[in-house]
Amino acid sequence: MADVVAEAAAESAATAHALPRIVLATHNRHKVEEFQAIVAATRPDLMVVAYDGPEPVEDGVTFAENALIKARAAAEHTGLPALADDSGICVDVLGGAPGVFSAYWAGHAKDAAANLDLLLDQLSDIRDPHRTAQFVSTIALVVPGDASREGVVEGVWPGRLAAAPAGEGGFGYDPIFIPDGQEQGAERTVGEWTAYEKNAASHRSRAFEALAPLLADL
C-alpha cells in the first residue's frame, strides 16, 4: 500500500512539474495563495509559481503602471511568462485614496494593521452612506521576448467600509470591507468570508476573468 501511495504522489508531482508555469511577481504569500486558488479553478493546466527575484522600484502613479513594472521585472529575471497584480482600496470620500499607496498608507514598513488603523481613523467622522469604496485589482501579463503579448486588465469590487474590523480571514483591508450585493441585515466584511467565497467574487477574480483571453494560448 505504501508503494502505491508513493507512486501516486510521484506521478502527481511529475504531472504538476510538467504543467506550463507562469510566475506571479510578488513576495506576498497571501497573494500567491489567492492567485493559485483562482487560477486552479479556471485554468488547472497552468501552474502559478512564486517569484524569488529582486523587487523593482514601483514608481508608477497608476495601478497599471506598477503592475507592468513588476511583471516585466519578473519575466526578465525568470524567463517565464509573468503576471503581476497591483491592487488597493479606493475610498470615494478620500478622492480614491489610498489607491496605489494602499500598502504604504501608514509608511514604508508595509504594516497592514497600521494601514488599516490609519484609514479607519481618517474616516472616523464619516458615516454611511458616505463610506463607499472599491477594491481595485489591475493584472499585467508579460511574455518574455514578445512585447506584443503585454496586456493589462482591471477588476473592481464595490462596497463600503465598516466602522471597525470584523473577522480573521483575508488580509490587508479585508476586515473592514463590506462588499455590495449582500442581504441587508446579514452583511459581512471580507474578513468574515471564507477563502472560497472571496476567491469567487473578489477584485482579483474579476480581473482574472478579463485576463482569460490573453492566457488562452499559454
CATH assignment at residue 179? 3.90.950.10
pLDDT for res 208: 93
Consult the annotation and say whether 35 binds a ligand.
no
Consult the annotation and say whether 108 binds a ligand.
no
Residue-wise pLDDT tens digits, 34-54: 999 998 888 899 999 999 999
- Is 46 strand, coil or helix? coil
Smallest Cα–Cα separation from 53: which of 76, 69, 35, 36? 76
Per-residue pLDDT band for 216 (boundaries 50, 70, 90) equals confident
Query: Left, alpha or beta for 110 (phi > 0: left; psi -120 to 50: alpha)?
Result: left
Residue-wise pLDDT tens digits, 82-135: 999 999 999 999 999 999 999 999 999 999 999 999 999 999 999 999 999 999
Question: Among the listed ranges 9-18, 61-70, 142-151, which one has the minimum average pLDDT value?
Answer: 9-18
Contacts of 29 (CB under 8 A, 6+ apart): 50
Smallest Cα–Cα separation from 22: which of 99, 77, 65, 75? 75
Q: Which residues span the domain enclosing 31?
A: 2-215
Q: What is this structure's pTM?
A: 0.86
Number of domains present in the structure of the chain: 1
Per-residue pLDDT band for 177 (boundaries 50, 70, 90) equals very high
Distance of alpha carbon 111 from alpha carbon 10, whole angstroms: 40
Consult the annotation and say whether 115 binds a ligand.
no
Consult the annotation and say whether 173 binds a ligand.
yes
Consult the annotation and say whether 17 binds a ligand.
no
By annotation, the residues acting in catalysis are: 86
- Is 61 strand, coil or helix? coil
Q: Copy the grid coordinates of residue 78.
A: 525568470
Report whether 49 contacts 73 (CB < 8 A): no
Per-residue pLDDT band for 17 (boundaries 50, 70, 90) equals low
